[in-house]
Chain A
């Protein structure tokens, strides 16, 4: 049988980078083909080529055995190729139907939009693939998981047969991931083919039919979940042995660094998001904050870094009252922050890497002398950090926008870790990173902790929280359910807390061995 898609010898060069190096890839009809590779391996670039956003320097694309010239997404769509971008391209104030119709408008009487007919088709697609979408809801009222389905509907509406999904699970909750997998299987059953990109090896093992691994722009191997183990995949991706579990040394926590007392914060819409939270973080300890996305983590972190005012309560950093301090004052007290949305808050994408590496220290010695920037020092600093933190970039002059997602994250980590800090607030620090980079960033975070830094780790990845933390706080609907000792915490128990249930007498005590409640001081 002819494969639905065949890429032959695709090569793409960017200034100073060989992003794709003679890549061959074959996708059979009705399979989920996982594309694995470390940050900057060239996965997104390859998919952008297939979708017509980039033009290959060499190579050919065959769809159903026919050679295709994909010059723009329009050609790709015509050939039945569709793409779900990581960042959704939806208009929030439009309904599902209107979004789906954009660019593919149904008209009646030669010019009037035929919403009814379009809505019917959306309904029909939603039913066929169990997507459970109401065509008349506004995008802005939908959770991320559903928005993603709208993106999928958009592709099906245009009769796509090959669906590209670039890291679709990065922003989803574990439940939403499971639902997405179900949808993907339905799609496969209906004869569609899917190219699936992710950094989470467990997901690949769970849902892929075949796996292709890319490293340094080249295909380094192809396998199936049955043949490979997690560790083998990780090694294949990174080219060396990766420890999937970091080792943590025992450490006695020191003085209190961050004290939060009855903090209340509103979200931008005025609803209470953080509802009277109290906790503290000590020198040399990691306090993990677990919780399903959207239970107040974002607001908590933004408030602690001075970006969102609180309405009640008190925050002290090393004894200074910082409740109403400006972001700069908080930074100058020795607090560092890895923001949850790196492109929104963490980087100026149009600036070169070197400037992004001094984004909050540019005004200090040696980067400035009185009012003048010292370009030389900024470049020297940039080159040092790029080497030290293994940031893959052609040069420090490259704008941050041309870096792969993982390397953008490393820029932020390098910047925040390279100044003297007493508190590190890390929000989803490894979102979108490959296993090698995760290992690296985890190691660096624990190193900071061992140096006596207090770390507040906010993550929706339960595994990450459990691995790194000394204590774990669970947030549910803006309230702190409990703070537990990480050594005694189990997944089940945290899961219950995350769902708003306090494991009490009705839960078998065997499930929660020696639960160690640490009193809130």
Chain B
């Protein structure tokens, strides 16, 4: 180090952060998504029988059909998740409100799909920040849905302004209890949270099956379902049907801001992150690790519980079996993709939500199996998780990040 060198320009923290972020993360993430999409296209073409038939006729024809198949798939993905620009234009020209709502519905439906992803992604991300691997988001979602739906149908006589927060709080509480148990077990006995949260998942699944068939089931229905929640507990919709978009999305955004403030602006957050980054130093600095572990698992569970409550209070208005279909598990990947940062979680939740919604129309309009979308997601994730692949493919100059890791290995620096 030589202070008199011109290289010694003093940079602000934001500048340094941006420097590193743009050089390492952003480029890699964008390229990973692009690469995933390209390979996904190849995959779609390769799983379509017509393409093979066309190749038998001629190479050129085969290539052309392969390309159009992939292209059509992505067009369907786009129109399914964002909307058909042509249709939107026509709808606005006609001025017919129903037509307009139909045309813009895909976009808002994607946001509806995004919402539980934000909650659950925040839950997992918060765990990661504290060094906890919460595999139990799925179970916590179920419990949050159960307690939320119960508060929604069983508590009578409250005005919406009170009933809605109460029902959401019940959801959070249910999830929190489900998170508390593994947190407590880890703090007291050292039981690893991966194992215990998986166990808690099974308990949650079977518990909800039983509750739906028995105590909480609607006796007038043949299949296991809870009764409808009261209107006063429904999360308000912002548009008329068919748009299902409800205020849960904004609650989720608010939660992201709260988690951000908690983690980065409060003393508790500093403690939690310290425990996550270096538990030894945290102990040495006087922090009770066991306490932080329990708090983190409770908060994580509460966020996941909100995801469940949000679904029953905002979308389904009752609880049916297997309603979550993997939000909790997806959110693990999602949190990683979002670098365990609340705002990163919002972005990756949007990606997941739009992909999930678009997948349905891909299936409906071009007949691509929904599994292909899962594979696509998996590929994008694999590329992001292994940035070295992307760096090699695109020959990105920049072992900068790798150097950081290297310097961590030897304590002399």
Contacts and interface: CB of A to CB of B under 8 A. Distances in A.
Nearest to A166: B412
Interface string A339-379: 10111111111111001000110110000100111010000
A218 B412 CA distance: 19
A475 B251 CA distance: 61
B411 A44 contact: no
A17 B7 contact: yes
Contact of B283 (A327, A349, A392): A327
A217 B1 contact: yes
A363 B268 CA distance: 9
Contacts of B413: 44, 401-405, 407-408
Contacts of A372: 265-267
Interface in B378-413: 399, 403-404, 406-413
B270 A355 contact: yes
Nearest to A363: B267
B289 to A, nearest CB: 11
A288 to B, nearest CB: 22
A349 B408 contact: yes
Nearest to A89: B409
A55 interface: yes
Interface in A445-461: none
Nearest to B286: A328
- The interface size bin for chain A is 35 or more
A48 interface: yes
Contacts of B409: 85, 87, 89
Interface of A: 13, 15-19, 21, 40-42, 44, 48, 53-55, 85-87, 89, 166-167, 170, 216-218, 305, 307, 326-329, 331-332, 337, 339, 341-352, 355, 359-360, 362-363, 368, 371-373, 375, 392, 394-395, 397-399, 401-405, 407-408, 432
A344 B280 CA distance: 6
Contacts of A327: 283-286
Interface stretch (B8-16, B67-75, B119-127, B308-316): B8-16
A46 to B, nearest CB: 13
Contacts of B265: 372-373, 375
A373 B411 contact: no
Contact of B286 (A19, A41, A331): A331
B47 interface: no
Interface string B7-33: 111111100110100000000000000
Contact of A351 (B8, B277, B283, B403): B277
A16 B267 contact: no
B283 A350 contact: no
B411 A342 contact: yes
Contact of B1 (A305, A331, A348, A392): A392
B254 interface: no
A48 B406 contact: yes
B1 A40 contact: yes
Nearest to A399: B404
